[in-house]
Amino acid sequence: MAIATTDPNTGEVVRTFTPLTDQEVEERISTAVEAFTALKGTDFAQRSGWMQTAAGLLEADVDNLSAIMTQEMGKTLTASAAEVRKCATALRYYAEHAEAFLADKPYNAEAVGARRAFVRYFPLGPVLAVMPWNFPMWQVIRFAAPGLMAGNVGLLKHASNVPQTALYLEELFLRAGFPRGSFQTLLIPARQVESVLRDPRVKAATLTGSEPAGQSVASIAGDEIKPVVLELGGSDPFIVMPSADLDRAVETAVRSRTQNNGQSCIGAKRFLVHEQVYDAFVDKFVAAMGALVVGDPTDPKTDVGPLVSEQGRKDLEALVDDAVDKGAKVLVGGERPDRPGWFYPPTVLTGVTDRMRLYTEEAFGPVAPVYRISSVDEAIALANVVHFGLGSNVWTEDEAEREAFIAGIDAGAVTVNGMTTSYPELPFGGTKRSGLGHELADEGIREFCNAKTVWVGA
Ligand code: NAP
């Protein structure tokens, strides 16, 4: 894929970039090693100060940065601004908490015949981050903030369609005061990831993206015996039981399915509704999805902007067409509008069965299959039918039902009467083929640390 900014609102190529040569990549890895030495000589207070500065810089530049993000991947300006502010919050969160998260962890010295026994956390060195376009700032910040605070340095291989956002991130940490090379952007194609990851000076990798990309990076990391964190796809269930507050459930279902123009890993992607409230839910859901304003993402009135790319729209259409060909019914949407840009309308389908790809595959756009279920057990079985296990959403006022869902759904998160969202304060990670390891909160910062066990005798 060419490294370029292509505006999804118009389909026009705005700016192209020349990929780094092998020699330039080599120089950047050397710079990263030097930066690691410099960063190791700093303490938490120093790094925290730079992190706070980075947060302030982001907030001061929210309009400019939002315009870049919207032009590169099509999310609404409102959504871009919200993402920038969330990134500033995460930078401050790690600025304030990293030292406590990485404090020495004492163990029972007496039990092992020692005077003192504890674990101390050390950074690993240069970490390669392979990141996706859908939350082009947030996905990177949730690696960069804990990573830099722990004392690691970052090498970012961002998605090829968000090069300006990628370069902005490199500048951000430099402007904030971090030593040169602490966070570098490598404008390289995906095929060059392997040689960077196999370089012995690169100590670990984190990837957020699709399953094939995750498989590739994890197998190289496995071959090199390097730690890897994977945040991959999802097809999260949204379960509505009879006791739910239906209006809130519908409003949240619409928001979850259409946020980021339907391209969020933790967006609700399958709607499992109890037969007692099925008809009422479907009526309200279809009306609300059909009422959303689809259009120019820079217009404040727009709810849903374009999909990221022509290919992204083709992939989504292929899922809907396959379902319709095999008997599913489209209740609203389902037709691409006749206009430039890669738009696709909010779409609701019923009658989706296990013969259709939509039953198990991830729909990365505003497409919502609704299923009728008649019990908790049936809901759990259908929730677990996919090989993903990222998030899940459950709407019920019944305590026993909640407990059954929390225990029964195979996912990295269960959200009760709300919408699955990532927070700096909570760990985030998937199970099954949605990923390995965790980001955010205390767990996220320890993923790329050597937890060194120390035993001190009398
Ligand atoms: P993608 O095609 O896998 O791309 C993600 C990143 O991986 C890009 O930087 C891409 O580079 C690179 N890449 C692609 N193939 C690679 C390979 N074989 N080896 C090394 N690097 C490779 O994914 P996407 O389409 O951009 O993102 C959508 C997917 O990400 C969805 O499945 C979504 O659910 C998932 N996602 C998950 C989370 C989470 O936290 N779990 C968050 C957001 C998104 P190029 O751009 O140069 O190809």
The whole-angstrom separation of Cα 213 and Cα 433 is: 12
Ligand 1 centroid to Cα of residue 87, in Å, is: 20
Predicted local confidence at residue 458, as pLDDT: 83
- Exposure string of 38-65, with b = 16+ CB inside 10 Å and e = fewer, is ebeebebeebbebbbbbbebbbeebeeb
CB of 131 closer than 6 angstroms to any ligand 1 atom: yes
State both tokens at 283. Answer: 């009526």
CB of 231 closer than 6 angstroms to any ligand 1 atom: yes
CB of 233 closer than 6 angstroms to any ligand 1 atom: yes
Ligand 1 centroid to Cα of residue 132, in Å, is: 5
Kindly report the backbone phi and psi dihedral angles of residue 76, in degrees, each rounded to the nearest multiple of 5, phi listed first.
-65, 155
Ligand 1 centroid to Cα of residue 359, in Å, is: 22
Sequence spans of domains, the chain: 4-232+434-456, 236-423
Atom of ligand 1 nearest to the CA of 362: 32
**Structure letter (DSSP) for residue 360:** T
Ligand 1 atom 14 nearest Cα: 213
CB of 133 closer than 6 angstroms to any ligand 1 atom: yes
The whole-angstrom separation of Cα 372 and Cα 349 is: 12
| Beta-bridge partners for 428 | 439
Atom of ligand 1 nearest to the CA of 422: 40
Q: Measure Cα distances from 226 to 126, 127, 264 in Å.
A: 12, 10, 28
| End-to-end Cα spacing for the chain | 61
CB of 4 closer than 6 angstroms to any ligand 1 atom: no
Helix (H, G, I), strand (E, B) or coil at 321: helix
CATH number of 4-232+434-456: 3.40.605.10
CB of 159 closer than 6 angstroms to any ligand 1 atom: yes
Ligand 1 centroid to Cα of residue 130, in Å, is: 8
What is the second-level CATH architecture of the domain 236-423? 3-Layer(aba) Sandwich (3.40)
Ligand 1 centroid to Cα of residue 131, in Å, is: 6
| pLDDT, tens digit (0-9, with 9 covering 90-100), for 71-128 | 999 999 999 999 999 999 999 999 999 999 999 999 999 999 999 999 999 999 999 9
Nearest CA to 258 among 366, 133, 135? Answer: 366
CB of 73 closer than 6 angstroms to any ligand 1 atom: no
Predicted local confidence at residue 1, as pLDDT: 78
Q: Measure Cα distances from 377 to 127, 183, 237, 400 in Å.
A: 43, 48, 14, 12
138 Cβ partners below 8 Å, 6+ apart? 83, 86, 87, 90, 422
371 Cβ partners below 8 Å, 6+ apart? 270, 271, 272, 273, 350, 352, 382
Kindly report the backbone phi and psi dihedral angles of residue 331, in degrees, each rounded to the nearest multiple of 5, phi listed first.
-95, -30
Residue from 130, 162, 319 whose mutation best tests the ligand 1 pocket (most atoms within 8 A of CB): 130
Kindly report the backbone phi and psi dihedral angles of residue 370, in degrees, each rounded to the nearest multiple of 5, phi listed first.
-115, 130
Element (H, E) at 331: strand 329-332
Q: Measure Cα distances from 156 to 126, 189, 196, 387 in Å.
A: 10, 12, 11, 28
Ligand 1 centroid to Cα of residue 256, in Å, is: 20
State both tokens at 381. Answer: 């079985």
Atom of ligand 1 nearest to the CA of 435: 41
Q: Which pTM was predicted? A: 0.97
Question: Residue type for 10, please?
Answer: T
DSSP for 427-452 reads: -B--EETTEES-BSHHHHHHTTEEEE
Residue from 208, 313, 319, 432 whose mutation best tests the ligand 1 pocket (most atoms within 8 A of CB): 208
CB of 218 closer than 6 angstroms to any ligand 1 atom: no
State both tokens at 430. Answer: 């998937």
Active site residues: 231, 265
Nearest CA to 132 among 311, 266, 270, 264? Answer: 264
The whole-angstrom separation of Cα 333 and Cα 320 is: 10
**Which parts of the chain register pLDDT below 70?**
none
Q: What is the CA radius of gyration of the chain?
A: 23
Specify the pairing of strand 204-208 against strand 126-130. parallel
Look at the block and give the residue holding tokens 């389909």: 11
Predicted local confidence at residue 311, as pLDDT: 97
CB of 390 closer than 6 angstroms to any ligand 1 atom: yes
